[in-house]
Structure 1
Amino acid sequence: MNIAIAGGTGLIGTALTHHFTSQGHQVFILTRTPQEQKGNVNYIQWLMPGSKPEEKLPPLDALINLAGDSIGSGRWTQQKKERILNSRLSATSAAISLLEQLERKPSVFINASAIGVYGHSFTETFTEDHADDGKGNFLKDVVIYWENEAKKAELLDIRTVFPRLGLVLDQQGGALPKMLLPYRFFAGGNLGTGNQWYSWVHIDDVVRMFEFAIQKQQIHGAMNVTAPHPVKMKEMGQVISSILKRPHWLPVPSLALKIVLGEMSSLLLEGQRVLPEKALRHGYQFTYPTVNKALVQILKKQ
């Protein structure tokens, strides 16, 4: 297959690129700063004046858009929040424009999304069929705008999938290395009450679920990319403690996190219990269904 990836140099994009090229597929990274071709990895300039990726791409089987400013780096100042939203909207708009200009359209457009669309709850369980209650917070509003922009691909008769990503566990980046740091210094413990839900997913299952979405033509619209067994924060912390043989004892009060991180503290203090109902219904089988199995695999490699 020929697969184009926007945002292909980040955590998920790098993992997808490695997976697809190891299977012999050609990957085309859409980037502002192209490099020389490396094996099956090709770099195509886009989002720059005069760049015309539609003239340099071969017929594509899939276009994946992962581009957007990181939500987990830096305080959410007003400028940062604008970058988070506008970077996603502008990249998705550019992806739609590219699709419009391609003479032969790919069969599927996969535009990254997030479980933040469900809002926060200590008690509810969310699936793709959840009816929106209309009550928004910053992340929920971002995802709604983001998905609505991506839905324009459907007007081009292209199957469109929104993988709603949960907390991605990987040793190379994302939230996990930051979560591990206190335990390595014997200072791990609950963040806030510890009762907030973490709907997590191992990076290997993220990659395979994206591939699953490409292959399964029956899948369209939202697809939760989370493991089937979400856990509360305190349970995840206790698993980390057990594997690393470090104590889970020193709580960090909610107020302290709010003072240090501001509004971004909601990523750690609030959560939602999200189930991957659509993937399971279509026959996806998880490599890492439980957080213990996922963290043993990741931490034993370090």
Structure 2
Amino acid sequence: MVVLITGATGLVGSRISEDLIAQGHTVHYLTTRESAIKSQQNYKGFLWNVKEMTIDADCIKGVDAIVHLAGETVFQRWNEDAKKRILNSRLNSTELLLRLLKETDHQVKHAVTASAIGIYPDDQNGKALREDEIPPTATNYLADVCIAWEKAGAQFKELGLNHAVVRIGIVLSDKGGALEQMSKPVKFYAGAGFGNGKMWQSWIAIDDLSGLFIHILKNNLEGVYNGVAPHPVRNRPMMETIGKVLGKPVFLPNVPEFVMKLMLGEMSSIVLASQHASSAKVEENGYVFEYPELEKALKQYLR
């Protein structure tokens, strides 16, 4: 299988690339930097420029499936300029891929695009959110972005491709990302929960997130899937479990909601959100989690 990956140098994309290559597949990846292009037997880079809407059409030669992850990070202060960049990076990159498929002979049959569980309405009652039961509700900027990105991605299906969406939760990894930021204060005995500490945190180990994407590719699955582990936890217990694994007690009072809003502005809605997303659908479609429990995952990534 030959897979074209956008965002292949990011936390998730790099892991999917490594795992695909290790399993004998070939990865084509898109980059904006000529210096980042490699041309190996099973790992080949191609130039694109989303701002100028240009792309090397050779990237699609021999490709069976696309994994579209590219988009500017949402973890920055959300001023108006940042909001435009975050949204446009996702919509324009999707449009560029769609245009390439329309204008070029290809054999692509499958596209898997990313989204986030932030698309769901905030809920602290603990109801497990299944992909086909809870309608996406735009109650904040991140939800607006997810809805727009999923709508754009749906056009892959209009071109005759099978299309799947992975709504990603909090990704745990030993190579940066959310876990690094959450564990930093704990290491210095400054760990605490956020707000009331009762928000549901739907997390997933990077091993499983990569495995889930590859499972969808190999089985040519369609539809929407939550990229989360089977056992979400609430915010305060999550911080305390990080402390337990690190051998550092989490004893400070939670950081009040108003302080989070002062520190992060509108972006605090990511930190304070509560989504108890269900992993049942992808499990029903045959995926078996390597790290279903939080403590086991933390022991792996906080070693």
Q: Which residue of 2 aligns with 1:80?
A: 82
Instruction: Provide the rounded CA distance (Å) in 2 between the counterparts of 1:200 and 1:36.
Output: 33
SS in 2 for 1:110: strand
Q: TM-score, normalised by structure 2?
A: 0.94
Structure 1 residue 101, shift from structure 2 partner: 2.7
Kindly report the root-mean-square deviation, in angstroms, between the aligned alpha carbons of the 2 structures.
Answer: 1.6
Instruction: Provide the rounded CA distance (Å) in 2 between the counterparts of 1:116 and 1:13.
Output: 20
Cα displacement string for residues 19-71 of structure 1 (whole angstroms, at most 9, x for unaligned residues): 11112221111112232324521111122669552235422111111110101
Structure 1 residue 106, shift from structure 2 partner: 1.3
Structure 1 residue 119, shift from structure 2 partner: 2.3
Q: Aligned pair 1:162/2:165, yes or no?
A: yes
SS in 2 for 1:125: coil
Instruction: Provide the rounded CA distance (Å) in 2 between the counterparts of 1:50 and 1:81.
Output: 19
Question: 1:265 and 1:50, CA in 2 relative to 1: closer, same or farther beyond 3 A?
Answer: closer
Instruction: Provide the rounded CA distance (Å) in 1 between the counterparts of 2:166 and 2:121.
Output: 16
Instruction: Provide the rounded CA distance (Å) in 1 between the counterparts of 2:142 and 2:121.
Output: 8
Instruction: Provide the rounded CA distance (Å) in 1 between the counterparts of 2:54 and 2:193.
Output: 49
Q: Which residue of 1 aligns with 2:226?
A: 224
Structure 1 residue 133, shift from structure 2 partner: 6.6
SS in 1 for 2:282: helix
Q: Aligned pair 1:129/2:132, yes or no?
A: yes
204-213 vs 23-32, which deviates more? 23-32
The partner residue of 2:199 within 169, 192, 196 is 196
Q: TM-score, normalised by structure 1?
A: 0.94
The partner residue of 1:273 within 267, 273, 276 is 276
Contact 2:53 2:92 in 1 (8 A): no
Structure 1 residue 105, shift from structure 2 partner: 3.1
Q: Aligned pair 1:254/2:252, yes or no?
A: no
Instruction: Provide the rounded CA distance (Å) in 2 between the counterparts of 1:258 and 1:139.
Output: 15
Question: 1:263 and 1:52, CA in 2 relative to 1: closer, same or farther beyond 3 A?
Answer: closer
Q: Which residue of 1 aligns with 2:148?
A: 145
Contact 1:53 1:98 in 2 (8 A): no
SS in 1 for 2:21: helix
Structure 1 residue 121, shift from structure 2 partner: 1.0
Q: Aligned pair 1:213/2:216, yes or no?
A: yes
- Aligned residue pairs, count: 298
Instruction: Provide the rounded CA distance (Å) in 2 between the counterparts of 1:133 and 1:20.
Output: 31
Q: Aligned pair 1:238/2:228, yes or no?
A: no
Structure 1 residue 277, shift from structure 2 partner: 2.1
Contact 2:29 2:59 in 1 (8 A): no
198-207 vs 235-244, which deviates more? 235-244
Instruction: Provide the rounded CA distance (Å) in 2 between the counterparts of 1:90 and 1:162.
Output: 17
Question: 1:230 and 1:159, CA in 2 relative to 1: closer, same or farther beyond 3 A?
Answer: same
Instruction: Provide the rounded CA distance (Å) in 2 between the counterparts of 1:51 and 1:83.
Output: 17
The partner residue of 1:109 within 86, 108, 111 is 111
Structure 1 residue 215, shift from structure 2 partner: 1.4
Q: Which residue of 1 aligns with 2:3?
A: 3
Instruction: Provide the rounded CA distance (Å) in 1 between the counterparts of 2:243 and 2:163.
Output: 40
Question: Unaligned 5+ residue runs, structure 2?
Answer: none
Q: Which residue of 1 aligns with 2:95?
A: 93
Contact 2:138 2:144 in 1 (8 A): no
Structure 1 residue 210, shift from structure 2 partner: 0.3
Cα displacement string for residues 100-121 of structure 1 (whole angstroms, at most 9, x for unaligned residues): 2331231210111111111211
- What amino acid does structure 1 have at the position aligned with 2:111? F
Instruction: Provide the rounded CA distance (Å) in 2 between the counterparts of 1:268 and 1:38.
Output: 40
SS in 1 for 2:46: strand
Instruction: Provide the rounded CA distance (Å) in 2 between the counterparts of 1:133 and 1:31.
Output: 31
178-187 vs 98-107, which deviates more? 98-107
SS in 2 for 1:223: strand
Contact 1:47 1:94 in 2 (8 A): no
Question: 1:240 and 1:125, CA in 2 relative to 1: closer, same or farther beyond 3 A?
Answer: same
Contact 1:198 1:231 in 2 (8 A): yes
Q: Which residue of 2 aligns with 1:21?
A: 21
- What amino acid does structure 1 have at the position aligned with 2:78? W
Question: 1:101 and 1:133, CA in 2 relative to 1: closer, same or farther beyond 3 A?
Answer: closer
User: Sequence identity, in percent?
Assistant: 35
- What amino acid does structure 2 have at the position aligned with 1:253? P
Instruction: Provide the rounded CA distance (Å) in 2 between the counterparts of 1:102 and 1:193.
Output: 53
